[in-house]
């Protein structure tokens, strides 16, 4: 339970469906404060505009923690599975920005 006046941290983890972690995003690490709605629920949105995953199956987990992200209050493990198709068939997890010279 949150202490009076405490703003929680919200985080998400992206993994391959078979357990290889790819990335984590958390409000406390990014200096973002979730918004408290009139219904008493905390909300925030995270986007990954240049997500260059290779084709495969992935899963998202979500976390609610204290303001510093140290104490987990709740977690939703593997709450959203999805399949992704990249524009070409390449091994690996992601396409990193790069240049050829």
pLDDT per residue of the chain (101 residues) written in tens, 0 to 9: 788 889 999 999 999 998 889 999 999 999 999 999 999 999 999 999 888 888 999 999 999 999 999 999 999 999 999 999 888 887 888 887 778 88
Is residue 4 a part of any domain in this protein? no
Is residue 48 a part of any domain in this protein? yes
Is residue 70 a part of any domain in this protein? yes
Residues 6+ apart with CB under 8 A from 18: 57
Domain, as residue range, for 75: 9-84
Is residue 97 a part of any domain in this protein? no
Q: How many angstroms from the chain centroid is the CA of residue 100?
A: 31
Q: How many structural domains comprise the chain?
A: 1
Q: How far are the Cα atoms of 44, 78, 92 from residue 32, in angstroms, in the given order?
A: 9, 23, 31
Give pLDDT, residue 27: 98
Q: How far are the Cα atoms of 10, 50, 55 from residue 62, in angstroms, in the given order?
A: 7, 20, 22
The predicted model scores a pTM of 0.84
Is residue 94 a part of any domain in this protein? no
Give pLDDT, residue 62: 98
């Amino acid at each position: 339970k949150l202490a009076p006046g405490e703003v929680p941290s919200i985080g998400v983890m992206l993994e391959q469906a078979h357990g290889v972690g790819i990335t984590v995003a958390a409000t406390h690490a990014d200096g973002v404060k979730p918004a408290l709605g009139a219904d008493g629920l905390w909300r925030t949105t995270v986007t990954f505009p240049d997500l260059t995953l290779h084709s495969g199956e992935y899963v998202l987990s979500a976390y609610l923690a204290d303001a510093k992200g140290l104490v987990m209050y709740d977690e939703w493990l593997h709450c959203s599975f999805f399949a992704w198709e990249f524009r070409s068939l390449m091994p690996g997890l992601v396409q990193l920005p790069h240049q050829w010279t």
